[in-house]
Chains A and B, each alone.
Chain A
Amino acid sequence: MKAGLPLAGVALLAALAGFSLYLAGRHAEPLAIPAGPVDATPAAIQSARFEDGEGASRSLGQFAGKVVVVNFWATWCSPCREEMPGFVKLQSKWEGRGVQFVGLAQDDAAKVAAFGRELGVNYPLWLGGTEVMDFSRRLGNHLGVLPHTVLLDGQGRVLESRIGVYPEAALDARLASATGR
């Protein structure tokens, strides 16, 4: 009986610890999840071609020398749209410090343009056909899900590839380490 009381105390403390961890988990922001292995060379990444809003051909190679944040998204994907205002803020913050965001979508050009205007997106939103999701898969997105965010260094090498919503604060910290600032 005497030994029962300390044990009950331990049980109560452990239960409280467990419950508080449960609550912490419930209220955490949705996390980005590391994507799988990358199957593309830096040269292939930099030379892949897409179209801008005016139909002109574009490639990531035009941002060589910068840390590039490639965000795969779609107008119909609500988690994508939730994280984009954070990307707009980060593009403003990191613009003069060697960082360039690019959005890539397999989507309707008019919808993308309307969404970009409405949200005041301050980075290029490029378009493509099925090659957009093929490119995303080669950059580690084996599930074919959105959003998918990839960080490239100045030579087009993949620094990080994540699926799911990338919280603004976490990406801000990641950009600081990627740029050494």
Chain B
Amino acid sequence: MSSSLPLTDPGLQPSRSWKNYLKNNMRDYGMLLSLFAIMIFFQIVTDGTLLKPLNLTNLVLQNSYIVIMALGMLLVIVAGHIDLSVGSVAGFIGGLAAVMIVEWSVPPALAVLLCLVAGGLIGAAQGSFVAYFKIPSFIVTLAGMLVFKGLALALLHGQSVGPFPPTFQALSSGFIPDILQVGTLKVTSLAIGILAALAMVYVSFTSRLRQQQHHVETDPAGFFILKNALLFAVIVYFTYLLASYRGMPNVFIIMFVLIAIYAFVTSRMTVGRRIYALGGNEKAARLSGIRTERLTFLTFVNMGVLAALAGLVFAARLNTATPKAGLGFELDVIAACFIGGASAYGGVGTVMGAVIGAFIMGVMNNGMSILGIGIDYQQVIKGLVLLAAVFVDVYNKRK
């Protein structure tokens, strides 16, 4: 765009054509389309195994903790930092939970609460070094990674601790109870899915109405209907698949609620706006009255709590805490954010992008495992996909 754009009145602009519209919004939909393309690809090459209800349920369970951490990581990255310690923290918290519940017989609910607080404290410790003592986050969290990896080993005496009582396991491997059951179909789960899909359509419809009232340019009507219909169909179809196995996993609900909250916070709340401002131009943000240090600190506290939650989910899923839990999680989490379009320089990135990025990684992991590709080449392919995604992003921006 040039600086000499003519003065035009908002609302008097001719509505853009579909083609134009797609071109301008390619970034937003490109990610989602890539995810679908990858899913269809693996669906075909795995002879339909990928979307079998059992496998889909596994896919959700396997990726839940990555998605949960990606939500926190996105804020950290948008704020212009990085957190390398999340895998170790998750592992350490899993160990802490095991010691508390299994060895000390602390009630699971209390233990979960204490673990989340511990995660917050870990985040606060790292965050204060980054925010107030101005030590680069890369270094602080690299140190944290080593520290908590070591502490997890020490805490568990190098051994696995388990099993957990069923109430704790339910955090991850439990499914929402079903009131009505028609054949093998879990109707409650399906109903929740349909309700959620309806709510989404309703929200996007009212916000479109509001935008039109204020003469804001909106998606072309046909496109809007198609988009919502597709979204509705996809959600209902996936919940149907889940419902035809054991229903919705509890962790799916947790994940879904968190995604909704973080998407709202980042896009509509002042605190979200301030984090983007902080990452986009810290000095300008500070001079605009934003308390940049406190905000940086809080993004790390938030990351710590989410890493703890992920650690709990992971331990509950394995039904045991091992010293090796969480190993390398940080790489998947960070990769998810960057595949999802976050900028390593800060200030750019979306929650939905990070979630889609996490699922792209997850589908690839899952699909390649089904195909029997060795862990060696899986890593090679994942690395190349990360590089390619960021390359396309940077290349498009330069054009």
Q: Do A and B assemble together?
A: no
Residues of A within 8 A of B (CB): none
Residues of B within 8 A of A (CB): none
